[in-house]
Amino acid sequence: MLTTNPFAELSAFIPPAAMQTYVVVMILLVAGGTLVDMIHKKSAKYFFGHWRNARNKGTRQIGGGEMVSLAIRTAAMEGLTSGEFCTAQRRIAHLLTMYGFLAYLVTTLIMVFGYPTPASPAPAILPALWHLGALMVCLGGYWFWFFIRVDVAAEGNSPFRLVRADLFIVSLLASVTLGLIWAYVQFVGSTTWASMFLALYLIATTVLFGSVPWSKFSHMFYKPAAALQKRMEQANGSRRGLPASADNPATFGSARRLPRNY
């Protein structure tokens, strides 16, 4: 099962062109939803306005080389290692979910567009990474949902309590979990169950990628920009009352409250 391309098996019932069209539509929904979110919340206008104000208030100018260095450090700390999280548990759960989702997403694109039928079998590593990525999302996501969330771990609320802010993580977990179940029942040859779980998988996936304007999906694009802006403000002296260096793990972010969600 772990080395079987589930999308190639699906091509016996759904044309590859239909699968590829669906993926393109999901990509367009993410792009369009992010633009709608930016326009509605005026995020780009806020970022650029705040950036100009911080530059004008700064006590020193940042050169091009230093800006590149800050961008690299931001990508390494906040992007690749999720260093902005205050606790090891949240950081590990986030990394599992993030890297699992990336592996799951990239291998889905490769298999759907590059190896859509059994006539062009995918290298075994691709479906293996697809399954591994999905399992990583489940491990990190369910760990966060049931044990790490602030409103559950600290406030004593039920883990089954849902608010709109939970839309992204809930739809992500639903999509990936149903995808794994669909791949399994398809592999064992249960046509009826495979059709049912495929329908549920497509519904959950459509909600995940189609709800960007109302979920926290777009935050994955905003957070790197906000982190870079914070580092530049600290470097040019316009950010008051914070440590001089964001690289000091003993002090940076120590006074923050844990966010409600990712």
Cβ contact 107:129 at 8 Å: yes
Higher pLDDT, 147 or 180: 180
Residue 16 domain-assigned (yes or no): yes
In a domain, 206, yes or no: yes
Calculate the alpha carbon distances from 171 to 92, 101, 252, 256, 258 in Å: 20, 13, 32, 28, 22
Q: What is the pLDDT of residues 95-119, one digit of tens each?
A: 999 999 999 999 999 999 999 999 8
In a domain, 251, yes or no: no
Q: Cβ of 209: how many Cβ atoms within 10 Å?
A: 20
- Please give the single-letter amino acid code of residue 33: G
| Four-residue CA torsion sign, 65, 71, 76, 80 | negative
Counted domains in the chain: 1
- pTM for the complete prediction? 0.72
Q: Is residue 150 in a domain?
A: yes
Query: Which domain does 180 fall in, by range?
Result: 6-41+88-218
Q: Which long-range contacts (CB under 8 A, 24 or more apart) does 115-118 make?
A: 115/5, 115/7, 115/8, 116/7, 116/8, 116/11, 116/16, 116/19, 116/20, 117/8, 117/11, 117/16, 118/8, 118/9, 118/11
- DSSP letters, 36-97, are HHHHHHTHHHHHHHHHHHHHHH-SSPPPHHHHHHHHHHHIIIIIIS-TT-SSHHHHHHHHHH
What local confidence, expressed as pLDDT, does residue 75 receive?
61
Q: Nearest Cα to 196, choosing from 186, 188, 205, 206? A: 186
Contact 246, 234 (CB under 8 A): yes
* In the block, residue with structure tokens 């239909």: 18
Q: What is the CATH number of the domain that holds 111?
A: 1.20.950
Q: Which amino acid is at 221?
A: F
Token pair in block for residue 238:
């316009």
- Top pLDDT among 262 and 150 is at 150
In a domain, 69, yes or no: no
- Mean pLDDT score of the chain: 78
**What is the tens place of the pLDDT at every residue in 199-252?**
999 999 999 999 988 877 666 666 666 666 676 666 666 665 444 443 433 333
Evaluate whether residue 149 is within a structural domain. Answer: yes
Please give the structure tokens belonging to residue 65: 């080389």
237 in any annotated domain: no
The span from the first CA to the last CA of the chain, in angstroms, equals 32
Q: In this structure, is residue 51 part of a structural domain?
A: no
